[in-house]
């Protein structure tokens, strides 16, 4: 059994998606016995603003925070500590996660349309790409939690391994079934002529090696999850393969991926699997950060 994080930090703004994040974080803390910390960040204004304006914004922020804590406790949950911060949401949430030693961040996504999110970004996506701990991004909809099915994107990196281990730990709390999926982004073309048979054999050998590695990994995850994940080797770009797998059933799955940690400009130009999945998934996404 992989150890579950001892502290969960829930970032909430009172929106519909934050409500789903609150439900998921509270449920995870209750089932795992982890501490639950809650933070709300009120948007501070420049120093020249009237003190009354700042005081009013802070008061409204405290009201939202108190309301979320009350909802958690009314539903049978327990909040270890509530935190009110002022500033930029992503910066304050990440800073607090470090300060308290959180092992999992839970945030809601505003659910903007795909193109709009790509153009504008979101605080949840900023948190995903800059946090040094795993982030669970929740979507709205009553069917989003608990996870009946988990899709684990595997690329045999340390980032993917951490995402898979934590996803399996979550799945063990709910009896979820899992799919362990590996995608070939660039399979070589099979040539014509005499070299065709040899090239085809090389592709078959490559696929068999991948399946063997997945079988080994599935055995490791079985020890955490409590049941053996289904394994799949697919051809195509990883993000596209994962997003197709999400559509297979009506109930949105929890998708777990590692974040390879491309630099900001490179990520903007080329994208990343985690960015695309967080942007386009219709259900919750767990992203484990790249750690140097």
Q: Residues 269-287: pLDDT tens digits?
A: 334 788 888 878 888 999 9
One domain, residues 128 and 192: no
* In a domain? residue 274: yes
CATH number assigned to the domain comprising residue 272: 3.40.50.620
Q: Where among 116, 145, 174 does a domain terminate?
A: 145
One domain, residues 50 and 96: yes
Between 106 and 283, name the one with better pLDDT. 106
One domain, residues 134 and 170: no
* In a domain? residue 48: yes
Q: Where among 130, 145, 160 does a domain terminate?
A: 145
Instruction: State residue 95's pLDDT score.
Output: 95
| 111 has a pLDDT exceeding 50 | no
192 DSSP 8-state letter: S
Instruction: State residue 161's pLDDT score.
Output: 92
Instruction: State residue 116's pLDDT score.
Output: 36
Q: What are the pLDDT digits (tens) for 34-88?
A: 999 999 998 866 665 577 788 888 899 899 999 999 999 999 999 999 999 988 8
Q: How many CA atoms lie within 13 A of 171 on its CB side?
A: 32
Residue 85: which domain range?
A: 1-145
Q: How many CA atoms lie within 13 A of 154 on its CB side?
A: 29
18: which 2 tokens? 């934050």
Instruction: State residue 19's pLDDT score.
Output: 85
One domain, residues 131 and 162: no
One domain, residues 117 and 200: no
Mean pLDDT of 97-102: 96
DSSP 101-158: T-SEEEEE-----HHHHHHH--HHHHHHHH-SS-EEEE-SSGGGSS-SEEEEE--SSH
Between 249 and 70, name the one with better pLDDT. 70
Averaged confidence pLDDT in the chain: 82
* In a domain? residue 290: no
Q: Which residues contact 220 (CB under 8 A, 6 or more apart)?
A: none
* In a domain? residue 291: no
260: which 2 tokens? 């390879």
Q: Where among 111, 126, 145 does a domain terminate?
A: 145
Number of structural domains, the chain?
A: 2
One domain, residues 64 and 177: no
One domain, residues 276 and 155: yes
Between 110 and 56, name the one with better pLDDT. 56
One domain, residues 164 and 115: no
Q: What are the pLDDT digits (tens) for 177-204?
A: 999 999 876 555 555 555 556 555 666 7
Q: Are 28 and 170 in contact (CB under 8 A)?
A: yes
* In a domain? residue 150: yes
One domain, residues 139 and 196: no
* In a domain? residue 292: no
Mean pLDDT of 116-141: 72
Residue entry with tokens 């449920």: 27
Question: Distance between CA atoms of 242 and 240, rounded to whole angstroms?
Answer: 5
Instruction: State residue 195's pLDDT score.
Output: 54
């Amino acid at each position: 059994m992989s150890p579950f994080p001892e502290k969960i930090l829930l970032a909430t703004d009172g929106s519909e998606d934050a409500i789903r994040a609150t439900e998921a974080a509270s449920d995870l803390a209750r089932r795992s016995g982890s501490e639950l910390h809650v933070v709300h960040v009120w948007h501070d204004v420049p120093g020249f603003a009237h003190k009354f304006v700042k005081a009013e914004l802070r008061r409204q922020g405290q009201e939202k925070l108190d309301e979320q804590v009350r909802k958690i406790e009314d539903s049978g949950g327990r909040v270890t500590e509530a935190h009110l911060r002022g500033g930029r949401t992503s910066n304050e949430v990440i800073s607090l996660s470090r300060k308290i030693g959180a092992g999992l961040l839970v945030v809601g996504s505003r659910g903007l349309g795909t193109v709009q999110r790509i153009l504008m970004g979101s605080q949840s996506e900023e948190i995903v790409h800059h946090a040094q701990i795993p982030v669970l991004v929740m979507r709205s909809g009553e069917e989003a939690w608990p996870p009946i099915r988990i899709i684990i994107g595997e690329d045999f990196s340390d980032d993917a391994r951490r995402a898979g281990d934590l996803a399996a730990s979550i799945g063990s709390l709910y009896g979820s079934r899992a799919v362990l999926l590996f995608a070939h982004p660039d399979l070589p073309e099979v040539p014509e002529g005499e070299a065709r048979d040899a090239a085809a054999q090389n592709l078959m050998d490559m696929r068999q090696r991948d399946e063997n590695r997945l079988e080994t990994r599935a055995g490791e995850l079985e020890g955490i999850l409590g049941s053996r994940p289904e394994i799949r080797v697919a051809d195509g770009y990883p993000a596209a393969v994962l997003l197709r797998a999400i559509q297979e059933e009506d109930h949105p799955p929890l998708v777990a991926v590692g974040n390879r940690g491309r630099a900001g400009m490179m990520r903007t130009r080329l994208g990343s699997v985690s960015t695309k999945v967080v942007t386009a998934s219709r259900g919750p996404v767990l992203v484990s950060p790249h750690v140097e």
